């Protein structure tokens, strides 16, 4: 590198991992082939709740190629093994045992009941049809309202209730604000809404897959997981294995979105089966299996009340959640809605706040982390009700937000939910977004369309969001009863030829860590981008880590890399001083070279690395290594924010919503690679828009998932999305030396309320003040029509025109 | 997602294919482009004993001119139908509807005949075939016969094809100079039609001389909106005429109910979309 070298950080580098990923020249878990490998297939319950009275596996065992067939009792005769829940949100949380294979009862349709092991995956699947299971149906519990009703049938009879836990935050008790009941009862304006966060499927691209090789003393598991380190420790604890005899490898992993933040029954069953047979085993699921058995996301009923004075000053906020956990608690389980507790107050100065969350069991697939995990739900509710409050007050919704948000000169600011936002500039992001969006021009067009009664109405939706990223300061996790810390590890190895290996405990599954980490290290050490290799995902090489989720990789793991690089330089400085016969204090380090201040004498860090490797001439007492490791535990979260503006066109004749334009200006602090940021924003926006308009996991009255394929579970493609206008402001985070905040979830968190607000805004003059997600054409059309009827417009006459619609099918559905 | 075991036959002539089907008995399935059959096999919703692949039968592919009709081989891909000048000149409605089928990958594998024989009421080519009075040329053990589109489609996923029958080709009467539009309504771009309207019209001056309207997914089979056609013919093609005619679109329909639409909404959509389809067709 020359002294004029352009910094790597900030460059829009094409990702170094893309060539192998795009051309398929990589190794996914399903590509792993080992000598003697056998294959597993799971029989899944077709019924949502039943007692298993008999399982006959004899015919299946006679099928061609079949090696073994096991039931739950075969794998776990004592009924002792349960998948881990690492976040008991209250001391008295009810945590039902989630077995590897159902034992006694099945509690959701899709729960595994038996496993076939055969020479080929095809033979294993063929044999499933020969297993005979007798089910004695039990009443099915669906929907949180029904689940908590008096006399409701129970998902887990032995627990005596469908409630897992109730978690409460009250600002009056915490001393961070006033009493919310008092605030509401003394306020001039009160708006109450019930929002439904529909259930979503994470829909990662690569289905889950696991291979277990038990043929060496140290067992090896390959898994398409986000969390190889957590998986290693949890598998050891769950199955009672010595942790040092478990190695987990997450090879290239095709997406996760939180859906692979899990320790699954299938992974644990694979270990037990492999050990029983003494053979390596593989399981790769079909998409149909993903849909019914991998954890889902969202699924909350949100009762929210906001109070304000007539001038628009918010006085209080009260939130009561019912969160559907499904049949069991996953690894983070009830912690997901609890994370939302800190985000309902968003960017606003709210003097009194109370949050309660009741986690509830139903006979459905369990829910757990999904992109944003608690924060999108919270952001949706607050940003939706801000628009409703604005409508109630007759105020422009942006003016209302501006009146209540934290001003840029008020940071650091401690919120009513006790987080301290270190930095931010909501005014700057908003000003830029409003200008890019042409807010005033679109409002003018909206008026014109309304005045001429255009069949296509225009709406504008706002979402001024923030989120907490960089999970997490360990002491905060401790205070929330989470079972682990939130630090991250990195190590740097200086090789004799001047090349560099960087080990990271973060575990990429599509984010581009290899590129971003290389850029960071290139600048830190002054070595070439292409001279750096990033090692990850194998607990043997990357022995320590807490993996990737919650937009934590860069803000925690990236900082650990910086800290490790600093240690390398400190070690190298001693050696360089010795080599150049200079005092350490006289050395400057820049662009990969130690220079004796005021002279031309210098030595490159690569030369130092070689000298250390040779170790022929090192200063007294210096170990012959530059290799260094660091563990970073953040002091605080980081708080990205942004202003998202969405314009929708609503065809009032059909209810179809078209996104006309979408502008977002995000402040994610310092940017390492703008191209990666752009990719994260576009993907995140697509997923957030998908929740608003398209996606929903739907169960019928029997607890059968009716949206069990991509023909019914509608993931949008580029054809369904507008060209996003993305831009940024840059207010550095003060909580880490790079000034970074995280971008992995921003688009998903911010966009859902922006879209729904825009649709409601387009048809508010029809008397519409909410439409349930996803905003299908039928729901939008019904809402417009119902509003017309309520306003005494066309359709108000019974039996006339559109008013003849069957009331049983009326309204949002 | 692995199909149950089956025998696989790939004959090279239609005669051989018919014989293979007759030999295999009732549990045989015909494989055309595989865009519907393969998912069904992989999800084990069907487990045929024998699959007869028509992919190697050259005589089933291609489009030719037969005087008053355009004849489309059953194994002609959507992509080839889309690009064919004969289809464009004499059966524009079919070209327009084919443009909307799924995505480029599907259009390169999926076939016109396969789509018709599958008879999914949400399939986009059934209503145009019906509107254009297409005739299906079918070969079975007793030789060849011709079946009108109206007789061919019998129920959900059910046609008049006997188990040993093969759809050989489709004769589409020429509608030379007719304008056309296929108005498709779905939740996402690559989903099946919730409702769609196939409209083709022949105008003389400002007057509608002839009109054919077919509806997709408004019953268990494609539906001809004859009341709309009657209300259009002989009238001037102004907005008011079209709107009034489209009000008849739901007559005689019996659509299914699913998560995307109930009966009332589908019937409402049929009216709105019919008006739009005719307007667009008139606009050229």
CB A795 within 8 A of CB A785: yes
Average pLDDT over residues A273-293: 97
pLDDT for A448-480, tens place per residue? 999 999 999 999 999 999 999 999 999 999 999
CB-based contacts of A146, cutoff 8 Å, min separation 6: A152
pLDDT for A410-436, tens place per residue? 999 999 999 999 999 999 999 999 999
Q: To the nearest whole angstrom, how far is the Cα of A805 from the nearest Cα of chain B?
A: 7
Three-state DSSP string of B52-76: EECCCCHHHCCEEEECCEEEEECCC
> Closest to A714 (Cβ–Cβ): which among B187, B265, B273?
B187
Are A778 and B190 inside 8 Å of each other by CB? Answer: no
Are B264 and A806 inside 8 Å of each other by CB? Answer: yes
- Of A83, A144, A97, A98, nearest to A357 (Cα)? A144
Average pLDDT over residues A254-283: 98
pLDDT at A799: 29
Q: Which residues of B touch A653 (CB under 8 A)?
A: 272
Place of tokens 């899944």: A44
Domain B61-173: CATH class, spelled out: alpha beta
pLDDT band with cut points at 50, 70 and 90 for residue A804? very low
Q: In this structure, what is the dihedral angle of CA atoms A132, A133, A137, A138, given to the nearest 10 degrees?
A: -170
pLDDT of A805 above 60: no
Lowest mean pLDDT across A21-30, A34-43, A749-758: A21-30
Q: Which residues of B touch A809 (CB under 8 A)?
A: 262, 264
DSSP annotation string for B10-58? --SSHHHHHHHHHHH-TTEEEESS-TTHHHHHHTTS---SEEEE-TT-G
pLDDT for A529-562, tens place per residue? 999 999 999 999 999 999 999 999 999 999 999 9
Are A122 and B2 inside 8 Å of each other by CB? Answer: yes
Q: To the nearest whole angstrom, how far is the Cα of A707 from the nearest Cα of chain B?
A: 9
pLDDT at A803: 27
Cβ-count burial of A2 within 10 angstroms (0-12 exposed, 13-18 middle, 19+ buried)?
exposed
Are A719 and B192 inside 8 Å of each other by CB? Answer: no
Average pLDDT over residues A578-587: 96
- Of A556, A587, A548, A575, nearest to A494 (Cα)? A575
- A63, A456, A778: which to substitute to probe chain B, counting the most B Cβ within 10 Å? A778
Q: Which residues of A touch B269 (CB under 8 A)?
A: 654
Place of tokens 């294919």: B17
pLDDT at A810: 31
Name the residue with higher pLDDT: A24 or A302.
Answer: A302
Q: What residue spans in chain B does CATH classification 3.30.390.50 cover?
A: 193-283
> What's the mean pLDDT when you consider all of chain B?
96
CB A251 within 8 A of CB A210: no
Q: To the nearest whole angstrom, how far is the Cα of A65 from the nearest Cα of chain B?
A: 14
pLDDT band with cut points at 50, 70 and 90 for residue A797? very low
pLDDT at A791: 54
Domain B7-53: CATH class, spelled out: alpha beta
Q: Which residues of A touch B36 (CB under 8 A)?
A: none
Are A698 and B259 inside 8 Å of each other by CB? Answer: yes
Are A122 and B261 inside 8 Å of each other by CB? Answer: no
Q: Which helix (H) or strand (E) element contains residue A249?
A: strand A246-249
Percentage of chain B lying above the pLDDT 90 cut: 96
Residue of B nearest to A652 (CA): B272
pLDDT for B69-94, tens place per residue? 999 999 999 999 999 999 999 999 99
* Domains and their CATH numbers in chain A: 18-23+487-632 (3.30.365.10), 32-138+205-255+260-293 (3.90.1170.50), 297-470+636-775 (3.30.365.10)
CB A594 within 8 A of CB A572: yes
Are B189 and A719 inside 8 Å of each other by CB? Answer: yes
- The A246-249 sheet, strands edge to edge: A66-71, A112-118, A38-44, A281-284, A209-213, A219-223, A246-249
Average pLDDT over residues A54-77: 98
Q: To the nearest whole angstrom, how far is the Cα of A365 from the nearest Cα of chain B?
A: 20
pLDDT of A615 above 50: yes
- Of A435, A509, A447, nearest to A725 (Cα)? A435
User: How many contiguous H segments (helices) and E segments (strands) does chain B have?
Assistant: 12, 14
Q: Per DSSP, which regions of A555-699 are E strands?
A: 587-590, 593-596, 602-604, 628-632, 641-651, 657-667
Are A781 and B265 inside 8 Å of each other by CB? Answer: yes
Are A776 and B192 inside 8 Å of each other by CB? Answer: no
Q: To the nearest whole angstrom, how far is the Cα of A432 from the nearest Cα of chain B?
A: 31
DSSP annotation string for A708-744? -STTTS----GGGS--EEEEE-----SSSTT-B---T
Place of tokens 């095709």: A254
- B122, B185, B194, B259: which to substitute to probe chain A, counting the most A Cβ within 10 Å? B259
pLDDT of A691 above 90: yes
CB A334 within 8 A of CB A196: no
> What's the mean pLDDT when you consider all of chain A?
95
- Chain B residues whose C-beta is within 8 A of a chain A C-beta are 1-2, 4-5, 42-43, 185, 187-192, 194, 259-262, 264-265, 268-269, 272-273
Q: To the nearest whole angstrom, how far is the Cα of B1 from the nearest Cα of chain A?
A: 5
Q: Which residues of A touch B42 (CB under 8 A)?
A: 286
Q: How many CA atoms lie within 13 A of B48 on its CB side?
A: 22
Q: Which residues of A touch B2 (CB under 8 A)?
A: 121-122, 125-126
Average pLDDT over residues B251-255: 97
pLDDT at A812: 31
> Closest to B1 (Cβ–Cβ): which among A287, A717, A782?
A287
Percentage of chain A lying above the pLDDT 70 cut: 96
> Closest to A121 (Cβ–Cβ): which among B2, B5, B188?
B2
Q: In this structure, what is the dihedral angle of CA atoms A178, A184, A185, A187, given to the nearest 10 degrees?
A: 100
d(CA A806, CA A800): 12
pLDDT of A801 above 80: no
> Closest to A126 (Cβ–Cβ): which among B5, B188, B273?
B5
Q: To the nearest whole angstrom, how far is the Cα of B261 from the nearest Cα of chain A?
A: 6
pLDDT band with cut points at 50, 70 and 90 for residue B25? confident
- Chain A residues whose C-beta is within 8 A of a chain B C-beta are 121-122, 125-126, 129, 286-288, 653-654, 656, 694, 698, 706-707, 709, 711-712, 714-717, 719-720, 776-778, 781-782, 802, 804-806, 809
- A–B interface: beta-carbon pairs under 8 A: 62
Q: What residue spans in chain B does CATH classification 3.30.43.10 cover?
A: 7-53
Are A717 and B188 inside 8 Å of each other by CB? Answer: yes
Q: Could you give the 3-state DSSP secondary structure of residue A633? A: coil
Q: Which helix (H) or strand (E) element contains residue A288?
A: helix A287-293
Q: What residue spans in chain B does CATH classification 3.30.465.10 cover?
A: 61-173
Residue of A nearest to B1 (CA): A286
- CA distance to A140, A656, B88, B226, B277, per residue, from B178 (Å): 56, 29, 10, 17, 14
Percentage of chain A lying above the pLDDT 90 cut: 95
Are A288 and B188 inside 8 Å of each other by CB? Answer: no
pLDDT band with cut points at 50, 70 and 90 for residue A186? very high
pLDDT band with cut points at 50, 70 and 90 for residue A258? very high
Residue of B nearest to A711 (CA): B191
Q: Per DSSP, which regions of A296-352 are E strands?
A: 297-308, 314-326
pLDDT for A696-726, tens place per residue? 999 999 999 999 999 999 999 999 999 999 9
pLDDT at A809: 34
Give the homologous superfamily in CATH for domain B193-283. Answer: CO dehydrogenase flavoprotein, C-terminal domain (3.30.390.50)
- CA distance to A88, A130, A464, A774, B188, per residue, from A765 (Å): 46, 59, 24, 21, 27
pLDDT for A2-29, tens place per residue? 445 789 999 999 999 999 998 988 999 9
């Amino acid at each position: 590198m020359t002294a004029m070298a352009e910094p790597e950080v900030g460059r829009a580098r094409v990702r170094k991992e893309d060539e192998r990923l795009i051309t398929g020249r990589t190794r996914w878990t399903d590509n792993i082939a080992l000598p003697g490998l056998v294959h597993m297939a799971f029989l899944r319950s077709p019924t949502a709740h039943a007692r298993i009275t008999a399982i006959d596996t004899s015919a299946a065992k006679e099928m061609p190629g079949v090696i073994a067939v096991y039931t739950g009792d075969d794998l776990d005769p004592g009924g002792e093994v349960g998948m881990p829940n690492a976040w008991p949100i209250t001391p008295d949380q009810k945590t039902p045992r989630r077995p590897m294979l159902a034992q006694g009862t099945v509690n959701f349709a899709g729960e595994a009941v038996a496993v076939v092991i055969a020479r080929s995956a095809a033979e294993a699947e063929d044999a499933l049809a020969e297993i005979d299971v007798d089910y004695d149906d039990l009443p099915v519990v669906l929907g949180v309202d029904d689940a908590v009703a008096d006399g409701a049938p129970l998902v887990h009879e032995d627990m005596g209730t469908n409630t897992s836990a109730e978690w409460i935050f009250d600002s009056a008790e915490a001393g961070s604000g006033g009493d919310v009941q008092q605030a509401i009862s003394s306020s001039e304006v009160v708006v109450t809404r019930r929002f439904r966060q529909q259930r979503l499927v994470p829909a990662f691209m690569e289905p889950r897959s696991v291979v277990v090789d038990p043929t060496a003393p140290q067992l090896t598991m390959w898994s398409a997981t986000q969390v190889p380190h957590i998986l290693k420790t949890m598998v050891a604890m769950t199955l009672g294995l010595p942790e040092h005899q478990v190695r987990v490898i997450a090879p290239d992993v095709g997406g996760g979105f939180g859906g692979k933040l899990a320790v699954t029954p299938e992974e644990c069953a694979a270990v037990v089966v492999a050990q029983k047979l003494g053979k390596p085993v593989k399981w790769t699921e079909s998409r149909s299996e993903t849909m019914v058995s991998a954890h889902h996301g969202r699924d909350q009923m949100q009762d929210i009340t906001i109070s304000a004075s007539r001038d628009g000053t918010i006085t209080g906020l009260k939130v009561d959640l019912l969160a559907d956990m499904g049949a069991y608690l996953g690894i983070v389980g009830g912690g997901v809605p609890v994370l939302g507790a800190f985000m309902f107050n968003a960017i606003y100065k709210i003097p009194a706040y109370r949050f309660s969350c009741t986690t509830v069991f139903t006979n459905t697939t369990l829910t757990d982390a999904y992109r944003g995990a608690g924060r999108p739900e919270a952001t949706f509710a607050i940003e939706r009700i801000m628009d409703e409050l604005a409508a109630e007050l007759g105020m422009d919704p942006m003016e209302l937000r501006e009146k209540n948000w934290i001003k840029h000169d008020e940071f650091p600011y401690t919120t009513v939910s006790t987080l301290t936002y270190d930095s931010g500039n909501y005014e700057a992001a908003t000003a830029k977004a409003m200008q890019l969006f042409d807010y005033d021009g679109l409002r003018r067009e909206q008026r014109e369309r309304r005045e001429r009664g255009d069949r296509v109405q225009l709406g504008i939706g706002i979402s001024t969001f923030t989120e907490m990223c960089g999970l997490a300061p360990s002491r905060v996790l401790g205070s929330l009863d989470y079972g682990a810390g939130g630090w991250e590890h990195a190590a740097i190895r200086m090789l004799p030829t001047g090349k560099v290996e960087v080990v990271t405990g973060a575990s990429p599954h599509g984010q581009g860590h290899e590129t971003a980490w290389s850029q960071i290290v290139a600048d830190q050490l002054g070595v070439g981008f292409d001279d750096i290799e990033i090692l990850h995902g194998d607990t043997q090489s990357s022995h320590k880590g807490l993996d990737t989720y919650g937009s934590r990789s860069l803000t925690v793991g990236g900082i650990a890399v910086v800290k490790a690089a600093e240690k390398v330089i400190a070690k190298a400085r001693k050696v360089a001083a010795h080599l150049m016969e200079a005092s350490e204090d006289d050395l400057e380090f820049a662009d990969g070279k130690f220079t004796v201040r005021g002279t031309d004498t210098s030595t490159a860090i690569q030369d130092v690395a070689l000298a250390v490797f040779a170790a022929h001439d090192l200063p007294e007492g210096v170990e012959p290594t530059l290799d260094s490791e660091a563990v970073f535990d953040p002091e605080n979260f980081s708080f990205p924010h942004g202003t998202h503006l969405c314009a929708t066109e609503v065809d009032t004749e059909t209810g179809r919503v078209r996104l006309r334009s979408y502008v977002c200006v995000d402040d994610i602090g310092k940017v390492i690679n703008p191209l990666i940021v752009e990719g994260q924003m576009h993907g995140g926006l697509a997923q957030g828009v998908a929740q608003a308009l398209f996606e929903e996991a739907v169960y019928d009255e029997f607890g059968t998932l009716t949206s069990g394929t991509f023909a019914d579970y509608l993931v949008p493609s580029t054809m369904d999305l507008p060209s996003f206008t993305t831009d940024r402001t840059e207010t550095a985070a003060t909580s880490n030396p790079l000034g970074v905040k995280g971008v992995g979830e921003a688009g998903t968190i911010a966009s859902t309320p922006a879209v729904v607000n825009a649709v409601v805004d387009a048809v508010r003059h029809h008397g519409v003040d909410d439409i349930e997600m996803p905003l299908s054409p039928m729901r939008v059309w019904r809402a417009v029509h119902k509003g017309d009827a309520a306003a005494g417009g066309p359709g108000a006459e019974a039996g006339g025109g559109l008013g003849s619609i069957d009331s049983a099918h009326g309204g949002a559905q | 997602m692995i199909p149950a075991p089956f025998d696989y036959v790939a004959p090279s002539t239609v005669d051989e294919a018919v014989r293979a089907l007759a030999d295999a008995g009732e549990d045989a399935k015909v494989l055309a482009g595989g865009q519907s059959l393969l998912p069904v096999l992989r999800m084990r919703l069907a487990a045929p004993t024998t699959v007869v692949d028509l992919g190697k039968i050259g005589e089933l592919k291609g489009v030719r001119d037969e005087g008053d009709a355009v004849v489309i081989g059953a194994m002609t891909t959507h992509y080839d139908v889309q690009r064919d000048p004969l289809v464009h000149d004499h059966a524009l409605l079919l070209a327009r509807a084919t443009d909307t089928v799924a995505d480029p990958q599907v259009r390169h594998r999926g076939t016109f005949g396969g789509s018709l024989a599958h008879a999914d009421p949400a399939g986009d080519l059934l209503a145009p075939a019906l509107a254009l009075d297409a005739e299906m040329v079918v070969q079975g053990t007793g030789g060849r016969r011709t079946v009108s589109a109206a007789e061919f489609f019998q129920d959900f996923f059910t046609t008049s094809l006997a188990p040993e029958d093969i759809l050989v080709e489709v004769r589409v009467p020429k509608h030379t100079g007719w304008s056309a539009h296929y108005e498709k309504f779905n939740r996402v771009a690559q989903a099946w039609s919730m409702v769609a309207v196939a409209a083709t019209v022949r105008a003389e001056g400002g007057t509608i001389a002839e009109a054919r309207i077919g509806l997709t997914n408004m019953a268990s089979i494609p539906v001809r909106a004859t009341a709309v056609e009657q209300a259009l013919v002989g009238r001037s093609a102004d907005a008011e005429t079209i709107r009034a005619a489209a009000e008849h679109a739901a007559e005689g329909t019996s659509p299914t109910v699913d998560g995307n639409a109930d009966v009332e909404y589908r019937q409402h959509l049929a009216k709105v979309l019919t008006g739009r389809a005719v307007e667009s067709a008139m606009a050229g």
